[in-house]
Amino acid sequence: MKEKYKSSKWQEVINWAQKRSLFMLHYCTGCGAIELPPTMTSRYDMSRFGIGPAATPRQADILLITGYLSTKTLRRVVYTYEQMQDPKFVMGFGSCTINGGMYWDSYNTIKQLDKYLPVDLYIAGCMPRPEAILEGFLDLKEKIENGEAKGYKKYKEEYEYYKTNQKKVLGEVKRRQ
């Protein structure tokens, strides 16, 4: 019995050490950029949870969209998301990504991010505090471990739905030759 206990504890340590880190690409718009830097610095230190910033979409696992999105920036966010490798996850940060926030009545503000991209997790608030951001990251990691974060699969399965919604706002995308 004692050996079984020792081996299971040892296995827990090995499993913990082998968990993969998540790299986040943050798309900061407006006031959403204010609360994120403290989350990365020594006081809150998100790197202790295995989460760090990525330089390019191809290196990122998480696309963190902070603050409001205008119709113009939505196009860039979609391009960025489509450049990321699978598995990829989207976090909506702040009230603006949920319902437009304080810009809810603006003609060029995106009101519901999940109509255009599959959002795996929202962090509510205007602006969410660093503690809430860390809690959101930990919730996302748990959803990933449990196999519940499947937004990237949903995007492929319901591609026409997302593209139709994107075209309603953005119009037809003209490719350069």
Q: What is the pTM of this model?
A: 0.81
Q: What is the pLDDT, as a whole number, of residue 118?
A: 94
Distance CA 158, CA 155 (A): 5
Question: How far is it, in rounded angstroms, from Cα 113 to Cα 118?
Answer: 8
Q: Are 87 and 145 in contact (CB under 8 A)?
A: no
Q: For residue 124, what are its two tokens? A: 């509510």
Sequence letter at residue 15: N
Q: What is the number of other CB atoms lying within 10 angstroms of the CB of residue 49?
A: 14
Residue 72 and residue 152: Cα distance in Å, rounded? Answer: 23
* Complete domains list, the chain, with CATH: 22-170 (3.40.50.12280)
Tell me the H-state helices in the chain. 2-18, 36-40, 71-83, 95-99, 130-145, 151-157, 159-170
Encode the chain (177 residues) as per-residue pLDDT tens digits: 455 545 677 777 666 655 678 888 888 877 767 777 778 888 888 888 888 888 899 999 999 888 888 888 888 899 999 999 989 999 988 877 877 777 778 777 888 888 999 999 998 888 888 888 889 989 999 898 888 989 999 999 999 999 999 998 888 766 555
Contact indicator for 118, 84 with CB cutoff of 8 Å: no
Please state, as a whole number, how many other Cβ atoms lie within 10 Å of the Cβ of residue 123: 25
